[in-house]
Structure 1
Amino acid sequence: MAAMKARDASPRPAAAAVARPGRHGRRRGRGGFGATRPGELALRYALLLLVLAITILPFLWQLSTSLKGPYEDVFAQTPSFVPLQPTLENYARVADTIPVWTYALNSVIVAVIVVGGNAVGATLAGFALARLEFRGAKLLLVLFLSTLVLPGEVTIVSQYVTVRGMGLADTLLGVALPGAIGMLNVLLMRTAFQAIPKEMDEAAVIDGATPWQRLIRLGLPNVRGMLSVITIFAFIGAWDDFLWPLIVLNDPKNFTLTVGLQYLNGTFSANPRLIAAGTMISFLPIVLLFASLQRFFFRGVAEGAIKG
């Protein structure tokens, strides 16, 4: 009995010692290891607010300018941020000045071709590099990586010569073709396919699955998040592109929205309201797209586990 009482009483000093940690232990107990101090937390939020202001304020200023009436002085020494007489007349004048909806449709056509090409081409190439064994796979991967080192301006002349030789100059297909498969998107899809456990792939091979069946039934269900990421990137890149469409297109009927809006800058250079309205017409679709697909985007970025 005495031994049992001694055993029952022995953990109590240890528990008391755990319950009364030192000064550092108490701080970790409340916040855990790596707890953020109030000063560090305030500094983080201050930096986030600074980055947010640098990023968002120019667009908010453009939106405010596009809504200002003709009698508001946008060149005042201290212009007001909030429009005193908000109006949508500037947007109507943009549509009356240039065929903005035709340009927007051309941009949509180019974006659809680019998104489709990246969704199909990058998926097939990424699966081949990650899951198929063939001679020269490592060399091909090195070539893919080497293309990321070169800026786009280095190859733009050769791209134009190639597109012109194919008879696609001054066409929307010629604008979309160079961006139909992005090398970065191929590498992203390769990384996503490599995250699938090899055991699942080997089991499918043992069951007699062909490469197409492994891609459709095993690969695609596990890389949908990354696929949504590259489609968003491809759409934004195709929609915002200005230099390449400016080089390829000559007929105003084929102009994309970013190229067509330059006529506002040339014709109405003294009226920044119309220029701001045209800028917002080009910018708002990107905001709406990302706002509607942001959950898929962040799910694809953070996706690290394989279901199954």
Structure 2
Amino acid sequence: MTATVERAVAAPVPASAPGGADRRAAAEESGRPLWQRVLFVVALVGAAVVFMLPFVWLIGASLRPREYVFSGGFLPTPFAPENYADAWQAVPMVTWLFNSVVVGTAAALAVTLSSAWVAFGFAYFRFPGRDVLFGLVLATMMLPFAVTMIPTYLIWTELRLTGTQVPLWAGNLFGSAFYIFLLRQFLLSLPREYFEAARVDGASYPQLFWKLAFPLIRPALLVAFIFEFKASWTDLMKPLIYLRDEELYTLPRGLKVVLDRFGYGGEQQWEIVLAGSVIATVPMLVLFFLAQRHFVEGIATTGRKG
């Protein structure tokens, strides 16, 4: 089994595998006329500027005194960095950040591992009705959250887990149709000969997954992890439904408290609201920049086969 894994890692990387997409994209890029490349870069820069403007305004407004928050422009003039200290002191921001990290990590790990296991089954095993069953799994993506919201709430109520953070992540233990599809497509891009050789060496099906498939699909696993972590980090609906204790609030639920207390109907301290919004956004930016290489690689190499 160990020899099979070593051969799989040392084997040439196909065009659809991690790294192959980058080389093919570079080759295609070098063959384009200069004006097309310039136009492409200008379009990318323009789109980046458009998408960044709201965040740049948010940062500038969060660093202005209260009476200048909506004065217009992007520069923080006058400069008031104490807004962030006021935001930290006004609400338990550290507790909410910690809760969001714990819930987001648990939700992302749960859905990534469970979806990867199901995706491996759909990619490797061949049995009657497999495609029909896979289609039914994908069909669940068409169900709006509002359809399952009440039945799910009743289930957690019967389990006496409402008012805790468990409903925010435990449902991910049963996988997600989107991530199952994403990971299945990545698994289909791997040569089946790797797995057949491992079976000849005496590997069991769990060993095929954990020792062979799992290391080879790390970019796709990272994509699923980041997607779900971001979804959990920005989710407001579930904390609104299940959480009652302010000490258990995640960051989006806490920002709702900040908005109610210092924004509309409150003290009109919008600088605190905006500072809290920046604090909630920065961790996601840091996470993306730390993992962007693997993230982009996983997106580029997923879905090229199947």
Q: 1:280 aligns with which of 256, 263, 278?
A: 278
The alignment status of 1:64 with 2:60, answered yes or no, reads: yes
Q: Tell me the residue number matched to 2:45.
A: 49
Per the alignment, do residues 109 and 35 of structure 1 end up closer, same or farther by CA in structure 2, a change over 3 Å counting? closer
How many Å separate the matches in 2 of 1:64 and 1:47?
A: 25
Paired letter, 2:46 = L
How many Å separate the matches in 2 of 1:197 and 1:43?
A: 38
Paired letter, 2:246 = P
Per the alignment, do residues 33 and 51 of structure 1 end up closer, same or farther by CA in structure 2, a change over 3 Å counting? closer
1:243 Cα deviation (Å)?
1.2
1:82 Cα deviation (Å)?
1.0
Paired letter, 2:51 = T
Aligned length: 271
Paired letter, 1:73 = Y
**Equivalent residues of 2:179, 2:224 under 8 A apart:** yes
The alignment status of 1:35 with 2:29, answered yes or no, reads: no
> What CA deviation, in whole Å up to 9, does each residue of 1:131-188 have, x standing for no partner?
1244543332122110112232332222222222222111111111234432211111
How many Å separate the matches in 2 of 1:303 and 1:274?
A: 42
The alignment status of 1:174 with 2:167, answered yes or no, reads: yes
Give the SS at the match of 1:261: helix
> What CA deviation, in whole Å up to 9, does each residue of 1:185-226 have, x standing for no partner?
111111121111122222222222211121122211211111
Q: Tell me the residue number matched to 1:8.
A: none
> What CA deviation, in whole Å up to 9, does each residue of 1:223-272 have, x standing for no partner?
11111111111111111111121111122221111011112212222222
Give the SS at the match of 1:85: coil
Q: Tell me the residue number matched to 1:16.
A: none
Give the SS at the match of 1:167: coil
**Equivalent residues of 2:186, 2:301 under 8 A apart:** no
Q: Tell me the residue number matched to 2:207.
A: 213
Structure 2 alignment gaps of length 5 or more: 1-27
1:102 Cα deviation (Å)?
0.8
**Equivalent residues of 2:107, 2:168 under 8 A apart:** no
> What CA deviation, in whole Å up to 9, does each residue of 1:32-79 have, x standing for no partner?
9973363x5554344333322331111111111111134x52333xx2
Give the SS at the match of 2:293: helix
Q: Tell me the residue number matched to 2:244.
A: 250
Paired letter, 2:294 = F
Q: TM-score normalised to the size of structure 2?
A: 0.81
My pick for the range that moved more, 136-145 or 54-63, is 136-145
> Whose relative contact order is higher, 1 or 2, with alpha carbons under 8 Å and at least 6 apart?
2
Give the SS at the match of 2:203: coil
Between the two proteins, what is the percent identity of the paired residues? 30
Structure 1 segments, 4+ long, off by >4 Å, are 31-34, 40-43
Structure 1 alignment gaps of length 5 or more: 1-30
- The alignment yields a C-alpha RMSD, in angstroms, of 2.4
How many Å separate the matches in 1 of 2:249 and 2:224?
A: 25
Paired letter, 1:168 = L
Bigger Rg over Cα: 1
Matches within 5 A, 1:183-262: 183-262=177-256
Paired letter, 1:52 = A
Matches within 5 A, 1:3-14: none
How many Å separate the matches in 2 of 1:214 and 1:125?
A: 13
